[in-house]
Amino acid sequence: MSRRIVSKQRNVRFVYCPHPINIDMSCVWGDNGDSFQRAPNGSFLKLTEDGLTVQHLVQARPDKSAPIGWEHGDHPGLYNKLPIWIEGTIIQSGVLEVPTLDGLISLTVTEPSMICYNDRDGAPESRDVWVQTIANLVKNYDY
């Protein structure tokens, strides 16, 4: 059973890239053949807190006003994470194939994690799935 949780992430820095971009995430997701994030129509790049390193990409909303699952923060380039949905089952380890807006992606789970979805009209958006560790959920959400 899924439940909705609220994010603590506020004023997170993103930069918009209007160009097609691919990012190899195998160093984070594991090397399962295809660990690429693909954004053929551009995307928002999530930056580290110091703003010096790209963490990953987030597909843009259709109007390119913000990353999917995020809303504008206090200043230009800063965004607040909207609530997400999580599955009730904790995944201890293994390789999962999940549908994303980038296509089907294989993710390696090496520590307790949960399947996550953005909210779409009050329900989980099952076409865009990702996995977060329990530690990350506790840090970034009212879990």
pTM as predicted: 0.88
Provide the pLDDT confidence category of residue 33 given band limits of 50, 70 and 90: low
* CB proximity list for 59: less than 8 A, separation 6 or greater: 39, 43, 44, 67, 68, 101, 102, 128
Segment 64-118, tens digit of pLDDT = 999 999 999 999 999 999 999 999 999 999 999 999 887 888 888 999 999 999 9
> 5 or 103, which is more confident?
5
Instruction: Answer whether residue 31 shows pLDDT above 90.
Output: no
- Separation CA 55–CA 49 (nearest Å): 10
* Distance, C-alpha 124 to centroid of its chain: 14
pLDDT tens, residue by residue, 49-63: 999 999 999 999 999
Tokens of 135: 């530690």
Cα separation, 79 vs 56, in Å, equals: 15
Please list, residue by residue across 17-36, b when 16 or more beta carbons sit within 10 angstroms of its beta carbon and e when fewer do.
eeeebebebeeebeeeebbe
Residue 29's pLDDT is: 75
Q: What pLDDT is attached to residue 143?
A: 87
What average pLDDT does the segment 27-31 reach? 77
> Structural domain boundaries of the chain?
3-140
Composition of the chain by helix, strand, coil, percent to 5: 10, 55, 40
Structure tokens at 67: 């990353």
pLDDT value, residue 118: 95
- Examine the pLDDT at 32 and tell me if it is beyond 70: no
